[in-house]
Chains A and B, each alone.
Chain A
Amino acid sequence: MQIVSEQKDKNKRVSGRFVAESRGFLGLTRADLIHYFFGGNASLAIFILLLICVFLFKEAAGFLPDHHRGLTKWRQSGQEFVDILNVAVDGHTRLGSSLNISYYAELNSSSKEEQAKLFASRAVLQRVKAALRGPSGRLRKLAAELEEVREDLADTEQDLAGGVLEPAKRALSEAELSGHRAMIAAIEARIVVIEARVVEGMEEALAGQEVWEGQQLEGADRQAVSEMVRGEFDGQVGTHPWVAELEQTVRTRKAERIPQLAGFKNASGNFRDAIKPMKTFIAPLREAASELKRQAIAAESAPKRKAALLAGAEATEDPEERARKLAQAEAVVVEEPDYDAGAEKYYSAVADFEASVAVLRTEIEAAVRALPEATELTDPSGRQNLARFRAGLPDYFDSLERAVARAKAWRHDKPYSWSRSFFAFLVGKDWITNSSWHDFYGLLPLFTGSLLISLIALVVSVPFALGAAIYVNQVASAREQNLIKPAIEFIQAIPSVVLGFFGIMVLGTLLRDVSQLPWLAWVPGFPLQERLNIINAGLLLAFMAVPTIFTLCEDALNNVPRAYTSGALALGATRMQTILRIIVPTALSGIIAAILLGFGRIIGETMVVLLVAGGKIQIPDFSKGIGVVGEAAHTMTGIIAQETGEVDRGSLHWRALFMVGLVLFSISLAVNWGAQIVLRRFQRHGT
């Protein structure tokens, strides 16, 4: 009331100005101008959205034609053909590594414990040495200095012993002599001090927990290792008996095992050798394809180079220089290489390829027959890898069949279809840049990485955010609400780069250490191999998404008409029944919209995934099941942040990155759109 009366006073004072306004600028009144000014500002939002589209499209525009041209060259030059043939080698390498792991796991299985102990003892020694790096280095330097001074001393002594020096010189030398001796004494004193410091530091390190962390050394073993470390620092020659004994055991056990596994070793060696003819068969083809591709690229840029040389010739005054440049310009080859002649080589190679595949197959089959059955092995890792090898073998043979079929069907002059080059981007399995062979721009590894991380983040964050929203909105006292709501706003304020930093410094190490606990070994994917991986990024993003989902969920719960709650309570429902059966179902579409918007926020997040996801551009290995979360990955946002600053403007790579941006932009629009639709249903329901 007070404010309104004040307003009245003010209006009275200025009432004289409230007269009809004259038509001013372009026949518009001042009020119109003000109106349009504000309207213009508001329409800026639309304008900006359009601008984003325009500029993303502008930079990405050339991508599809350029990409198509690149892929056409890939086909014409025969690189595609070589890649088809290479399937045989790649698959063989994969299988071979399983077989190799299996063999060595089996070989080492009888002395596993001893080897682990030896490994642990070496790790501890390394850690102690690292902790004492400063004083040890200083000791080495002092020893060198001591050596030098001693040599000087010896020289001086020799001079004196020679006895032919003049008295003056003699006095000088004697002074020098005593100077050297004093220096030696000083250095030796320092050495003693620093040696004491080293010993002290070593004892301290051994007494502490840090150097033992993560190493399975207890009781007597720990004492033995401590002794060994001490011996190492005392400069004892020879290995410590504890170590020697372990090494001896390992040697004898291995020696016992080798004859038993001779068949296995032989077979796996045969398997490895089987691919050699194939490799030598492909190598010349690969070279030819590379050469053709190089010529093709040179021909592409030739007109530009020629024009530049001609322009340079125009500009030069010197006739000799001009003649030279003109000659150079003449020499530039503009014609494309003769693909047809090059392709003949590939066509004639098809039959040989088929023959070598047949040979390869029989050799592999022979080798595999000599392999032991997986059940005959004793080591779990050995069994697992051999089983994986055997399971992968039929797939490999299939892929060989397909490769032969594809090689037969391959034609260098068949035009590369536009839809195919588009899908080569959208669902291509490789993102390989700066390679000497061919650059592939396939979105799939990045997209899978983004999606996997986002899904983990959602799965983790939704229960927490929703639970907290229900708690704050329905259960918590006013005082609790006043604590929790601002706290969650604070979480929203934590910058993403800080969270990423936290992920590198703390969470990564924590996760890895936890995953190495023996009683957690049953969890799929444990122990984690790397610190920076999908689960680390997913957890941090979950934390980031909590405030967004929480706030929107709380709004949705708040919008449930009070009558519903009162009605349920009046009928005698308990608090939880009301919440779980009345309030949450009513607010469900709002909650779904909140989750969708949270997803949009997560998939667009950059810094955390750039810092923490591990940066490995590869489709995660889903054959591990849930264990896939332990792998490193790369994301769409991360690749843009990482590579945009480093590539040439306007290059294919640059355009590819803008295409990725465009995909992200479309995803965000789609997610928003979905949330709008869901919310609209909610409004109808709520009122």
Chain B
Amino acid sequence: MANHQQETGNPFAAPPRQEDRRASRERVLTLAFRLLTYAILACALSIFLGVVMRGAPVIFQAEAPFINTDFFTRLPETLVVYEDDQGEVRKLSATRFEEMRSANPGRRFSIVDSYSYSGGGILGPLVGTALLIAICMAISLSVGIASAIYLSEYSSKGRFMSTVRLAILNLAGVPSIVFGLFGLGLFCLAAPNLVPVDQIADRSLFSVPIPLTGAAVSFEGWGACMLAGGCTLAIMILPVIITAAEESLRAVPQGFREASLALGATRWQTIRKSVLPYAFPGMLTASILGITRVAGETAPIMFTAAVAHKDKLPWIGQDPDSSWAGRFLDFFFQSVQALPYHIYTVAAKIPQSEYNKDMQYGSVFVFMALVFFFAALSIWLRARIRRRLHW
């Protein structure tokens, strides 16, 4: 061994007989790592295929328009399992069943079973999720990008800075259900709300009457509503947005700033004209990444915004007599259905049977497709940015 080393001057080299064994060990290890990697991908693929195989038939159909339009244009409703006079057991959503029953008065249908929320479509949850995402992103992007600008452009190493960074890091690790509890405590039960003086709730922490208006600012919270859910999600996603936006700001070369400042621009002018435009695509990616995270979250909206049952879309049924502002507030202060919560409801809260599988797999399929669409969009955008902007 020692002789061999001296000859080649290579401390790792093995005598020729061991060379073979070493090479085969090398191959085995490489193969093991490769197997581990592809095992992960195989698991992902099997989950993906499992959902697609059961979900796609619910969404797509053989005849025109090739897509199950009911599934996207109706609210969730009760699913009726009935038996017609041919002895066939079929299923229909409650309204469709009534329509058919009144269209065929001569025939007899006997209801065998019914399942809540398993019929109709998922329009309500889709709209609710979209609204929650919109509110969440509006808040978290404005706050997040402003924070990122501070961290990247104004930062001077100091105690404040390190505290902020530590806070962001810790915020990123807080479990989503804790954000849910926090949102429940703050937005639903303690946030300031404008109410008539005689309707102040008992739970109000304190209230300040506004003279002459008959209204008061009462710290009694907003109840479970869209706005509370959106704010909770926004706070949850804030660390992700800040980190990603700061990264894209830092990716803009220092020379841009120096050149601008050297020409006499103020700091704000520099940021606005020479930094932000080049960091913008990166921030866009970050925000889309944020959407994928937010769309998938259930725990934070469970007590702050989501309900299982709602028989109308958010913009329908508003009081036409109330003022513009009143209607605006009514709109945001109502609870919504949300897709992840809908999936939770149909998967865990109602009795399981073969008949409500369609709703389950259909919802999951649409949800996965949505989330993957956003994920793919962010990956594609990032690749594009990398190609186009390099300096």
| Residues of chain A with a CB closer than 8 A to B10's CB | 571-572
Report yes or no: B178 in contact with A52, Cβ–Cβ below 8 A.
yes
| Residues of chain A with a CB closer than 8 A to B375's CB | 489-490, 493
Q: Which of B61-69, B149-157, B209-217, B314-322 contacts A (4 or more CB under 8 A)?
A: B149-157
Report yes or no: B298 in contact with A497, Cβ–Cβ below 8 A.
yes
The secondary structure that dominates the B interface is: helix
Report yes or no: B255 in contact with A4, Cβ–Cβ below 8 A.
yes
B167 interface contact, C-beta 8 A = yes
B164 interface contact, C-beta 8 A = yes
| Residues of chain B with a CB closer than 8 A to A357's CB | none
Report yes or no: A194 in contact with B40, Cβ–Cβ below 8 A.
no
A208 to B281, CA, bound (A): 57
Q: A576-B29, A606-B298 are in contact. Are A641 and B173 (CB under 8 A)?
A: no
| Residues of chain A with a CB closer than 8 A to B302's CB | 641, 644-645
A95 to B295, CA, bound (A): 51
Report yes or no: B263 in contact with A56, Cβ–Cβ below 8 A.
no
A597-627 vs B, CB cutoff 8 Å, 1 = contact: the mask equals 1001101111100110000000000000000
Q: How large is the interface on A (under 10, 10 to 19, 20 to 34, 35 or more residues)?
A: 35 or more
Within 8 Å by CB of A55, from B36, B185, B265, lies B185
> Contact residues of A with B, CB < 8 Å?
3-4, 7-8, 10-11, 14-15, 18, 21, 30-31, 34-35, 37-39, 41-46, 48-49, 51-52, 55-56, 58-59, 133-135, 137-139, 141, 190, 194, 197, 463-465, 467-468, 470-472, 475-476, 484, 486-491, 493-502, 504-506, 543, 546, 550, 571-577, 580, 597, 600-601, 603-607, 610-611, 637, 640-641, 644-645, 649, 657-658, 661, 664-665, 668-669, 671-673, 676
Q: Which of B83-91, B95-103, B329-337 contacts A (4 or more CB under 8 A)?
A: B83-91
Report yes or no: A501 in contact with B360, Cβ–Cβ below 8 A.
yes
Report yes or no: A45 in contact with B147, Cβ–Cβ below 8 A.
yes
Report yes or no: A498 in contact with B368, Cβ–Cβ below 8 A.
yes
Report yes or no: A38 in contact with B147, Cβ–Cβ below 8 A.
yes
- Extra contacts, 11 of them, besides A506-B50, A611-B347 (Cβ < 8 A), are A3-B256, A11-B273, A38-B149, A42-B164, A464-B39, A490-B372, A600-B173, A606-B298, A640-B177, A661-B181, A665-B175
A664 to B176, CA, bound (A): 10
Within 8 A of A (CB), among B269-283: 269, 273-274, 278
Within 8 Å by CB of B41, from A39, A43, A484, A499, lies A484
A134 to B12, CA, bound (A): 74
A644 to B239, CA, bound (A): 26
Report yes or no: B268 in contact with A34, Cβ–Cβ below 8 A.
yes
| Residues of chain B with a CB closer than 8 A to A14's CB | 265, 269
How far does the Cβ of B93 sit from chain A's closest Cβ, in whole Å?
A: 19
B73 interface contact, C-beta 8 A = no
How far does the Cβ of B287 sit from chain A's closest Cβ, in whole Å?
A: 14
Q: How large is the interface on B (under 10, 10 to 19, 20 to 34, 35 or more residues)?
A: 35 or more
How far does the Cβ of B85 sit from chain A's closest Cβ, in whole Å?
A: 9
B171 interface contact, C-beta 8 A = yes
Report yes or no: B203 in contact with A649, Cβ–Cβ below 8 A.
yes
B296-329 vs A, CB cutoff 8 Å, 1 = contact: the mask equals 1111001100000000000000000000000000
A selection of 25 A-B contacts at a CB cut-off of 8 Å is A7-B256, A14-B269, A42-B146, A45-B167, A51-B186, A194-B87, A467-B37, A470-B33, A475-B34, A493-B296, A502-B47, A504-B348, A543-B40, A604-B175, A606-B176, A606-B298, A606-B299, A611-B347, A640-B181, A641-B177, A644-B181, A649-B189, A668-B170, A676-B166, A676-B169
| Residues of chain B with a CB closer than 8 A to A58's CB | 185, 190
B111 interface contact, C-beta 8 A = no
| Residues of chain A with a CB closer than 8 A to B25's CB | 576
| Residues of chain B with a CB closer than 8 A to A43's CB | 160, 164
| Residues of chain A with a CB closer than 8 A to B265's CB | 11, 14, 18
